[in-house]
Structure 1
Amino acid sequence: MSLLRSSLLVGVGAVASRILGFVRDILFAQVLGAGPVADAFLAAFRLPNLVRRVVAEGGLNPALVPSLTRLEPDEAATMAGNVTLVFGCLLLGIVAVVEVGAGAIGLLVAPGLASQDGVPELVALYTRLAFPAVFGVTLASIGAAFLNVRRRYLAATFAPLVVNGGLILALVAISQGLALAPERQAAWLSVASSVAGLLQLGLIAAALASGEDKPVRFRRPVWSPALKSLLLAGLPALVASGAVQLFVLAGTQVASFWPSGVSWLYYAERVMQLPLGLMAALAASVLLPELASRHRDGGTDAVVVAQNRALALALFLALPAAAALVILAEPISTVLFQRGAFDPQDARGTALVLMGLSAGLPFATAGKVLSQTLFARGSLRGTLLAAVAGIVVTIGGAALLGVLFGMGGIALGISLGCLAHAGAMVFLLRRAGLWRLDREIMGKIAGIGLATIAMGLFLAGLRYLMPEPRIPGLAVLCLGGLAFYAAAAWLFGAVTGRDLALLTKKP
């Protein structure tokens, strides 16, 4: 399958997941608003949703794909079975610990909620009900990695849709058919999250069992150096792959001390995740296996070429997306979320946070792509340290800028964490001799920058003509900006026919 077809398949799945996620979050805002109950639910939902997003975007792939790629198919299938059984036991233990300590763990995510009457108890309840989803989505992600190794992307790409789809059905049923208090509504949504995670696992299991090419073979686990190395790499891989989500989690801890801060940050981050999640899914599912294969073959120059091509694609998507989100932050927040319990003040607060987060989108996307080269080399320690550095910068920046500028400053602190993380990736790649920006890639970046500026001016003009757009107006702004950027990108040389030919070439 060509890189273009693989990328399109994964991209369609990622976009579909984000669209369903938008529908889910619109219903969240309509049903729960942005008050204490919403803060409690979203604080409890943050941890399992973080795990779901990290593993859905291939968070375990950096530990699994390079190791399994180096093995023969039969050996890889046996190793996959051992990994599945061992990880299953570990996950059961983790879920049990969280069920016991749900109160403390939930408030660790949002410590500012501890002072609100009755909210800590809600956080503990919702955490206990929602966290079992982690068992299902993590094992499903492990199974999806096995499918990706065999270049079987269909089930791995579309199985995660069941989580958002299940929550949407639950939200519709709760809001339309059941007259429940907000506290009870949030409780049922937490249960629905766990059920949907187990359904996702069932779909992946069915895909693994189908077909002649069985990626997993279950035997009694045999403890080997290879299995030990792979398991020890799992946690660092999750931390390193979920760097941006961890920066947002650190920002959530600071935001919990602001009224409705947890909710505003959640909704704004969900919008920002559309372009970032698309690039993350492409990087983990398509780029990482290609880089791992090239690294195995010893082609350093080929690795650098693939990395630069992916970086150009990342910036091609991220730079215009960041500019558009800054310009359209207010109408996006108003049109998507301002209804039901979500009032105009909440929409303005969410827009302010979205603008701050959008500033870090290009750095977050670049860091996600550049880390794949280090993952392919098995260099998890460096990527883990880079993620930790980004977390430290996020906490310090969010705390300081939050005092100075409120919730918008907290969002800027998260963007600073993304910048620090991307800078650390460049430093590590330079040390490994894998950072070379030739004249071609620099020319493309310049073309992307010029096209983005042109699109920004075009959108600002349209925004002046439509000061308060509704759904049709927002669609015109988004589609018009996209069409203008595509034309400007071609004009300024950000994308050429040769680029399309390279993408359609089979690896």
Structure 2
Amino acid sequence: MSLLRSSLLVGLGSIVSRILGFARDVLFAQALGAGPVADAFLAALRLPNLVRRVVGEGGLNPVLVPALSRLEPDEAATMAGDALSVFALVLLALTGLIEIGAGLIALLLAPGLHDDGETLALVALYTRLSFPIVICVTLASIGAAVLNGRGRFTATALAPLAVNGGLILALVVIESGFDLPLAQKAAWLAAASSLAGLIQLAIMAAALLQGGSHLVRFRRPRWSPVLKSLLLAGLPVLAASGAVQIYFLAATQIASFWPSGVSWLYYAERVMQLPLGLMAGLSASLLLPELARRYQAGEHQTLVDAQKRALEVALLLALPASAALFILARPISTVLFERGAFGSADTEGTALVLMALSLGLPFATLAKVLSQTLFALGSLRTALATAFAGLVVTVIASLLLVGPFGPAGIALGVSLGCLAHTGAVILGLSRIGLWSPDAQGLGRLVRIGAATLVMSLGLLGARHALPEAEPLVLAAFCLGGLILYALAALATGAVTRDDWASLTKKSSEPLRPDAGLS
């Protein structure tokens, strides 16, 4: 399958998943609003959502793909079966501990609620009901890594849709057929999330079984150096891959001291995750296997070239997305969330948080792409250290900025953490000789920036002419901005015909050093 077709398939699945996620969060806001119950529910979902997003975006691929790619097909199938079996046992034990210690977990997730025993008890309840999804999505992610390594992307792209689709169905049923208190609605939704995760796992299991024993072969797990490295590296890889999600987890803890802060941060983050999640999924599912193959073949220069071109793709998407989210933050918050229990004050708070988060979107995207090189090389210690540097900056900046700016200050802290993470990754790559900006890349950045400026001016003019926040108006803003950016990108040379030619090359073919976006 060509890189373009693979990218389109994975990208389409990611986009549809994010659209369903938008629909789900719109229904969340309508059903639960942004009060104490919503804060408890969304705080409880932070931990399972952290794991779901990290592994769903290929968080385990950095350790699984390189390890399996070094083995013969039969050995890789056996090792994949061992990994699934051992991870299943470990996750069952972890889930048991979470179920027992949910009260303590609730306090860690939302320390600002320590004086509100009733809300804190709801956090514990919702944690117990929703955490089993972690078992399902993690095992599904291991299966996805196996399929990605064999060039199979269909199930990987479609299976994650089950979670958001299942939650939307649950929300529709609860809202239309039952008149429940807010706390009970949230409890049913927490349980529904675990059931939806089970459906995702079933879809992935069917895809693996369809591939036969050459994909996965089960036996009684045997302790081996490869399996040991997978287990020991699993947690560091998840931490490094999910750096941005960990920053939001820390930000949620700080936001729990602010009324409705958890909810505003959650809803704004969900909007930001649409472009970020797309690039994260493409990076882990497509770029990482490509870089790993080049590194194993000793093609270090082409590895650097592939990294550069991937950065161009990232900036081509991230810069206009960042500008558009900043300019359209208020109409987005109004159209998506302001209905039912979600009031105008919540809209204003969510919009300010979204504006602050949009500033960090390009840096979060760049760090995600650049980290794939560290993962392909097996430099997990460096990847983990760079993620930790961003976490330190996030916490310090959020604590300093929350006083003068409220929850928006916490969001600014997250953006600064993403900036620090990017800088640390670049520094790490420079030390091992894998970071060397070239004139072609810098020229492309200037042209992308010019196209983004043209789009931004157009959106600002349109907002001035049409200030009303209506669904059709917002759709016109988005479509018009996309068309204007595309035209400006073509006019400035940010995108050329050669870029499309390089995209259609087979993913196993080496890239030319002068190839365009890939």
Regarding TM over 0.5, the answer is yes
Q: Please state whether the residue corresponding to 2:469 is helix, strand or coil.
A: coil
TM-score by length of 2: 0.97
Rounded to whole Å, the distance in 2 between the matches of 1:428 and 1:138 is 29
Rounded to whole Å, the distance in 1 between the matches of 2:505 and 2:156 is 23
The residue number in structure 1 matching 2:466 is 466
The residue number in structure 2 matching 1:407 is 407
The residue number in structure 1 matching 2:239 is 239
The residue number in structure 1 matching 2:90 is 90
Q: Please state whether the residue corresponding to 1:152 is helix, strand or coil.
A: coil
Q: Describe the superposition over 1:283-328 as per-residue Cα deviations: whole angstroms up to 9, x where unpaired.
A: 0000000000000000111001100010000010000000000000
Rounded to whole Å, the distance in 1 between the matches of 2:330 and 2:214 is 49
Q: Which amino acid aligns with 1:506?
A: K
The residue number in structure 2 matching 1:313 is 313
Pair 1:418–1:120, CA change in 2 (3 A): same
Q: Describe the superposition over 1:201-231 as per-residue Cα deviations: whole angstroms up to 9, x where unpaired.
A: 1111010000357311011111111211121
Does 2:180 match 1:167?
no
Contact 2:73 2:214 in 1 (8 A): no
Rounded to whole Å, the distance in 1 between the matches of 2:114 and 2:501 is 56
Q: Please state whether the residue corresponding to 2:436 is helix, strand or coil.
A: coil
Contact 1:130 1:193 in 2 (8 A): yes
Q: Which amino acid aligns with 1:74?
A: D
Bigger shift: residues 413-422 or 101-110: 101-110
Rounded to whole Å, the distance in 2 between the matches of 1:30 and 1:59 is 31
Pair 1:495–1:131, CA change in 2 (3 A): same
The residue number in structure 2 matching 1:274 is 274
Q: Which amino acid aligns with 1:235?
A: L
Q: Describe the superposition over 1:427-462 as per-residue Cα deviations: whole angstroms up to 9, x where unpaired.
A: 011111111111111110110111111111110000
The residue number in structure 2 matching 1:348 is 348
Q: Which amino acid aligns with 2:388?
A: V
Q: Please state whether the residue corresponding to 1:218 is helix, strand or coil.
A: coil
The residue number in structure 2 matching 1:217 is 217
Q: Which amino acid aligns with 2:393?
A: V
Q: Which amino acid aligns with 1:139?
A: L
Aligned-residue CA RMSD in angstroms?
0.8
Q: Which amino acid aligns with 1:95?
A: T
Rounded to whole Å, the distance in 1 between the matches of 2:127 and 2:391 is 23
Contact 1:208 1:214 in 2 (8 A): no
Rounded to whole Å, the distance in 2 between the matches of 1:458 and 1:130 is 43
Contact 2:74 2:214 in 1 (8 A): no
Q: Please state whether the residue corresponding to 1:495 is helix, strand or coil.
A: coil
Rounded to whole Å, the distance in 1 between the matches of 2:47 and 2:410 is 19
Rounded to whole Å, the distance in 2 between the matches of 1:109 and 1:501 is 48
Q: Which amino acid aligns with 2:68?
A: L
Q: Please state whether the residue corresponding to 1:115 is helix, strand or coil.
A: coil
Contact 2:334 2:469 in 1 (8 A): no
Rounded to whole Å, the distance in 2 between the matches of 1:305 and 1:465 is 44
Q: Please state whether the residue corresponding to 2:114 is helix, strand or coil.
A: helix
The residue number in structure 1 matching 2:511 is none
The residue number in structure 2 matching 1:501 is 501
Rounded to whole Å, the distance in 1 between the matches of 2:76 and 2:214 is 10
Pairing of 1:124-203 with structure 2 (within 5 A) = 124-203=124-203
The residue number in structure 1 matching 2:484 is 484
The residue number in structure 1 matching 2:123 is 123
Q: Describe the superposition over 1:145-191 as per-residue Cα deviations: whole angstroms up to 9, x where unpaired.
A: 11101111000111010000000000001111011100000000011
Give, in angstroms, the shift of residue 107 of structure 1.
Answer: 2.1
Give, in angstroms, the shift of residue 111 of structure 1.
Answer: 0.8
Rounded to whole Å, the distance in 2 between the matches of 1:226 and 1:121 is 42
Rounded to whole Å, the distance in 1 between the matches of 2:64 and 2:211 is 21
Contact 2:39 2:263 in 1 (8 A): yes
Rounded to whole Å, the distance in 2 between the matches of 1:4 and 1:380 is 29
Q: Describe the superposition over 1:360-410 as per-residue Cα deviations: whole angstroms up to 9, x where unpaired.
A: 000000000000001000111101011111111100000101112111111
Rounded to whole Å, the distance in 2 between the matches of 1:36 and 1:184 is 13
Contact 2:63 2:234 in 1 (8 A): yes
Contact 1:63 1:234 in 2 (8 A): yes
Q: Which amino acid aligns with 2:440?
A: E
Rounded to whole Å, the distance in 1 between the matches of 2:42 and 2:211 is 40
The residue number in structure 1 matching 2:34 is 34
Rounded to whole Å, the distance in 1 between the matches of 2:155 and 2:138 is 15
Rounded to whole Å, the distance in 1 between the matches of 2:75 and 2:450 is 50
The residue number in structure 2 matching 1:58 is 58
Rounded to whole Å, the distance in 2 between the matches of 1:455 and 1:107 is 44
The residue number in structure 2 matching 1:254 is 254
Equivalenced residue count is 507
The residue number in structure 1 matching 2:362 is 362
Bigger shift: residues 420-429 or 101-110: 101-110
Bigger shift: residues 272-281 or 485-494: 485-494
Does 2:226 match 1:226?
yes
Does 2:378 match 1:378?
yes
Contact 2:77 2:213 in 1 (8 A): no
Q: Which amino acid aligns with 1:164?
A: N
Rounded to whole Å, the distance in 1 between the matches of 2:354 and 2:412 is 10
Rounded to whole Å, the distance in 1 between the matches of 2:185 and 2:65 is 40
Rounded to whole Å, the distance in 1 between the matches of 2:2 and 2:40 is 45
- Structure 1 residue runs of 4 or more that deviate by more than 3 Å after TM superposition: 211-214
Give, in angstroms, the shift of residue 469 of structure 1.
Answer: 2.7
Rounded to whole Å, the distance in 2 between the matches of 1:214 and 1:187 is 41
Pairing of 1:368-447 with structure 2 (within 5 A) = 368-447=368-447
